Amino acid sequence: MGKASEKDTSVVYGVYDSSSQPFPVRLNDFFIDRQRIGVQEKSYFYHLLGVMLDAGIPIMRCLKVLTKKTENQRFSRVINTMQYDIEHGKTLSQSMAKFPGVFRESEVGIVKSGEAIGNLAQLLFKLAYQTERSHTLYLKVRGALVYPTTVLVALFISGAIVVTTVIPRLDEFFTQADFQMPFLTRAVLTGGRFMINFSWLLLILVVFLSLVGSFYVSTEKGKYKFDRFMLSAPLIHHVVRKVNVAKFVQLLSLLVEAGVPINEAIRISGGAMNNRLYKDFLNKLRVKVEQGEKIALSLQEAPFLFPETVVAMVSVGENTGQLAMISEKLAVHYEREVEHALDNFTTLLEPMVTVLVGLAVAVLAVALLGPIFSLSSLVA
């Protein structure tokens, strides 16, 4: 995508009205306003804004430069809107808060703290670094699932080709030969006939179950049960727990270092968690901290969510007044733990996928090729 045009970057959300514009302009605005703003784009924005502020450039000038420099047209409009808001008396954090779909609450809170203590540039550097780290961790988790997913999809496509092209011909061949087929061959051919004759029913069933599953997971009860299952599922529960712990201590470290009050830091961290069990626990933790209880004591009550190592390190951080530094060390440690867990996961999964593919090929070979060899030997 090329750089945004002058018209695109001049748009100010809340001020610009496209209702009176021609249809092509409104259609273009519709697609621009729904563009995805990537994590890397935000990380680059935070870093470059920090560099310019640290060099003494006024924030209005910084945002004006970034509006034209940013290639994502929607993000250009967002930055231009922030420039407009600051020009009309708002702070950067107040303007960012207008775009909850772009900027997370934790990011807004860090910027707000930087404005309050006059250290915005340095906190923007840390925010850029933390955002990039979170994105890198996400990519590693996603990358670990690419190989097994690709193999299983290829296996499914290959199976569908065999069922729709090979099986009908073999079925016709065996029928004409009046050959007594083994049970495994009959089962495969029967399954193939069923899939061909009722493919429409299978498609409807898959779509229906997908919709029902999506709806159930979107409910509070369904989301809770699904998240709990992810924390106890074989092979992946260690990875899921470590990813959630790493995310929590990353945010806690950054927010505390930014000067955000500890109860507010816990609230923001809880809001950023995707897993419902962690989110609910951190909401309860915030209440207990506001009542004077130490964080480590509360974490100790949830060994299912927070390992003993985390409890011990947080306790040291609280007692020494170095919670931000200890949390940062924990974040680095758990990022490495996630990498090791992903390596172990892929190491276990690859032979399992290989065995599954081998079994599928073996079943088809025995079921379909075996009778052919037997029939050819009889003819000979």
pLDDT tens track for 194-232: 777 787 888 899 899 989 988 888 888 888 899 999 888
User: If you average pLDDT over each of 184-193, 238-247, 340-349, 353-362, which comes out highest?
Assistant: 238-247
- C-alpha closest to that of 50 among 63, 35, 37, 33: 63
Tokens of 14: 């809340």
pLDDT-wise least confident of 153-167, 237-251, 366-380 = 366-380
- pLDDT attached to residue 254: 86
Say if CB 104 and CB 251 are below 8 A apart: no
Amino acid at 110: I
Q: Is the dihedral of CA 318, 133, 268, 254 positive or negative?
A: positive
Q: Is the pLDDT of residue 52 over 60?
A: yes
Tokens of 52: 């310019």
Tokens of 202: 């299978």
Q: Which residue has the higher pLDDT, 28 or 1?
A: 28
* Residues 57-74, mean pLDDT to the nearest whole number: 91
CA distance 122 to 56: 13
Tokens of 302: 């949830």
- C-alpha closest to that of 196 among 188, 211, 177: 188
Tokens of 1: 């995508």
From residue 123, alpha-carbon distances to 16, 128, 134, 156, 379 in Å are 32, 8, 16, 49, 82
CA distance 94 to 97: 5
Residues in contact with 375: Cβ distance below 8 Å, sequence separation at least 6, in sequence order: 177, 179
Q: Is the pLDDT of residue 23 over 80?
A: yes
Say if CB 66 and CB 49 are below 8 A apart: yes
> pLDDT tier at 178 (50, 70, 90 boundaries)?
low
Share of the chain above pLDDT 90, in %: 26
Residues in contact with 293: Cβ distance below 8 Å, sequence separation at least 6, in sequence order: none
From residue 254, alpha-carbon distances to 96, 172, 238, 244, 297 in Å are 18, 68, 24, 16, 22
CA distance 176 to 169: 11
E strands along the chain, which residues? Answer: none
Q: What is the pTM of this model?
A: 0.75
Q: Is the pLDDT of residue 313 over 70?
A: yes
- pLDDT attached to residue 286: 92
Q: Is the pLDDT of residue 182 over 90?
A: no
CA distance 80 to 300: 46
- C-alpha closest to that of 81 among 142, 25, 10: 10
- pLDDT attached to residue 59: 92
Name the helix (H) or strand (E) containing 274: none
- pLDDT attached to residue 4: 45
Q: Is the pLDDT of residue 377 over 60?
A: no
- pLDDT attached to residue 155: 76
Amino acid at 284: K
Share of the chain above pLDDT 70, in %: 91
Q: Is the pLDDT of residue 282 over 60?
A: yes
> pLDDT tier at 2 (50, 70, 90 boundaries)?
very low
Which domains, and CATH codes, for the chain?
6-121 (1.20.81.30), 145-380 (1.20.81.30)
Tokens of 169: 């011909």
Task: List, for residues 119-129, the tens digit of each pLDDT value.
Answer: 889 889 988 88
- pLDDT attached to residue 78: 94
pLDDT-wise least confident of 24-33, 57-66, 265-274, 365-374 = 365-374
- pLDDT attached to residue 95: 94
Say if CB 266 and CB 286 are below 8 A apart: yes
Q: Is the pLDDT of residue 374 over 80?
A: no
> pLDDT tier at 375 (50, 70, 90 boundaries)?
low
First-to-last C-alpha distance (Å) of the chain:
66
From residue 316, alpha-carbon distances to 37, 254, 294, 325, 330 in Å are 39, 18, 11, 11, 12
Say if CB 246 and CB 335 are below 8 A apart: yes
What integer best gives the mean pLDDT of the chain?
84
> pLDDT tier at 177 (50, 70, 90 boundaries)?
low
